[in-house]
Chains A and B, each alone.
Chain A
Amino acid sequence: MEETADQDLMAGIANGDEAAFRLLSRRHAARAIRLAQRIVQNHALAEEIVQEALLRVWINAPRWRPAAPFQTWFFRIVVNLCLNQKRRPSFAPLESAGDPPDPSPDAVGQIEARELDQSIAAAIDALPDRQRTAILLTYHEGLSNAETATVLGTSVSAVETLLARAKRALRAALAGHAR
């Protein structure tokens, strides 16, 4: 059953097969948590959102039609829940404080690389929600622009605009770090 395609598992879930639901949940939970975490920037909230998204998969499975891959539909649920959550006021997560740098003398190069990574990660976090989500879906999840448009519920040209604006901001952050 481990190799069963998502589409077949969804057919089972639509008929109330809980084992298929558990398997599908385990298969997609990690990527969904990672995506949610990067959008909402909060571990606990990301887990809650993914749990809610999985429940919605269960509830709406009989209505699901395999017009698009399951993952695209699932990501759309997760992203919608995340963006809805982001519209509400929230506390700053503790993890945003960052880790202390490694003080060992042979790690200077690693520290510089890590600082660059951190400044780009901070620049990604500072992007508007939809631009950040577009970057996460294309770079992190490897989705095409068309798939990203489906997940975000928008057109491909709108996704292209989001990506172009996001890249402009990230390029500026990279240039600022190089100075």
Chain B
Amino acid sequence: MTVFRFQHLIDVWGSDPSRWPASEQAFTGRMLADPVARALLDQAKMLDQVISRAETAAKIPDHAVNRVLAGLRSRPLPPQRLPLLSRWRRGAAGNYWVTWPRFAALACGATLGIVVGLSSLGMSMAISLDLNLTQTAATDTDLSGNLFDADSVTGLGP
């Protein structure tokens, strides 16, 4: 292990070698015999102490916490976001007697939709069939009138 590697381990894992990964700890004892490495560790311990002291100095007063909690109490909580699958499961398995009217209404709606759809389909088919027959009859009449009108050719001969 080099001094640079040792410094990197100090930076990443802190100045307490007992908290380092076991694979790295095996080389620590040998490194600490080096005065340069030992100086690095002492400096890192001091830095850790200063950082920790700077962090713990920042205490949060109770009134800040109370303000946040009061802010939450001041308005109604928003609706929760349920996963779709669990909502269905909860309705289907957990509370059958509350949810069966919804399923019944859904089934009635679907049945009604199918009946209305089929009947309107039958009506539209009947109307279109009727129209086709009427149109065919009208077309036959017109054609025969145009093709076999005797008056239209009268007097054209020499």
Contact = CB atoms under 8 A, between A and B. Distances in A.
A22 B69 contact: yes
A135 B51 CA distance: 9
Contacts of B155: none
Interface string A44-75: 00010011001100111111000000000000
Interface stretch (B22-30, B42-50, B106-114): B42-50
A140 B77 contact: no
Report the interface size class on chain B.
35 or more
Given A167-B11, A168-B11, A139 B51 contact: yes
B158 interface: no
Which of B73, B77, B82 has the most chain A CB atoms closer than 10 A to its own CB? B77
B58 A55 contact: no
Nearest to A13: B80
Nearest to A15: B80
Nearest to B87: A62
A25 B81 contact: no
B145 interface: no
A33 B68 CA distance: 9
Interface in B32-70: 43-44, 46-48, 50-60, 64-65, 67-69
Interface in A92-115: none
Which of B47, B65, B73 has the most chain A CB atoms closer than 10 A to its own CB? B65
Contact of A50 (B50, B51, B68, B81): B68
19 contacts: A21-B77, A33-B64, A37-B58, A38-B58, A47-B68, A58-B80, A59-B78, A59-B79, A62-B80, A62-B83, A121-B54, A139-B52, A140-B55, A163-B11, A164-B11, A164-B12, A167-B10, A170-B51, A174-B47
Interface of B: 8, 10-14, 43-44, 46-48, 50-60, 64-65, 67-69, 71-73, 77-83, 86
